[in-house]
Amino acid sequence: MKVSIITASYNYAQYLEEAIGSVISQAYGDWELIIVDDGSSDNSLEIINSFCDKDSRIKLFQHEGAENKGLKETLQLGLKNSSGDWVCFLESDDVLKPQYLERKIEAIEKNPEAGLIFNKVEFLCESDNAQKKAQIFAKRQDELGKFAPSLNMFKDFAVFNPVLTFSCVMVKKDLIDCANFDVKNEKFLDWWLWIHLA
């Protein structure tokens, strides 16, 4: 079962090596990493290309004219160029633990009716407001621990977004291909997508 990992990249050169390295280190090997650069002005392309040269599973795409088009169009370009059965998202400043894909595949095999899988995350941050963000994540993690999905997932997701970040999601490719990306505010793109999928 092939997994397409899609990473939107925009001026995050300082994190890319670790993010890409975390994909290469996966115990599960049937993956492709689709990196879409959204018009970076730092040395992101140089770093991405160095990995593409070493591993044919890593592929770089850009918008026409190397324009900056935003997250919505960047993810859609990644999806258009992906060939996996499932799609996994990895934000360019995040990392995956080595067993991440392997454990998700195990969950899929045990629950073949599932179309979307997500998990808790570990918060890592170097910024000045790291403590505040860590507290917000801790509260959300606690809420997620109490989250018990009902048969009406649309209602569940409309009230509360239990998915903490794009980087903890795997979704069936045929489902995400049919999703409506036409969100009015890109800040809520992930929640918008999960509601539509529900």
Q: What is the mean predicted confidence (pLDDT) over 35-62? A: 97
What pLDDT digit, counting tens, does each position of 62-72 carry?
999 999 999 99
Residue holding tokens 């004219």? Answer: 65
Q: How far apart are CA 55 and CA 38, in angstroms?
A: 21
- Those residues with Cβ within 8 angstroms of residue 128's Cβ, 6 or more apart along the chain or in another chain: none
Residue 185 reports pLDDT greater than 90 = no
% of residues, the chain, pLDDT over 90: 64
- What is the value of pTM for the model shown? 0.87
- Buried-exposed string 110-144: b where 16+ CB fall within 10 A, e elsewhere: eeeeebbbbeebeeeeeeeeeeeeeeebeebeeeb
Count Cβ atoms within 10 A of the Cβ of residue 3 and give its class: 0-12 exposed, 13-18 middle, 19 or more buried: buried
Q: How far apart are CA 103 and CA 28, in angstroms?
A: 9
Rounded (10°) CA dihedral 92, 96, 101, 102:
170
Q: Say what the pLDDT of residue 159 is.
A: 72
Q: Say what the pLDDT of residue 163 is.
A: 76
Q: Say what the pLDDT of residue 29 is.
A: 96
Closest-CA residue to 64 (of 54, 77, 53): 77
Asked whether the beta carbons of 92 and 51 are under 8 A apart, the reply is: no
Q: Say what the pLDDT of residue 191 is.
A: 86
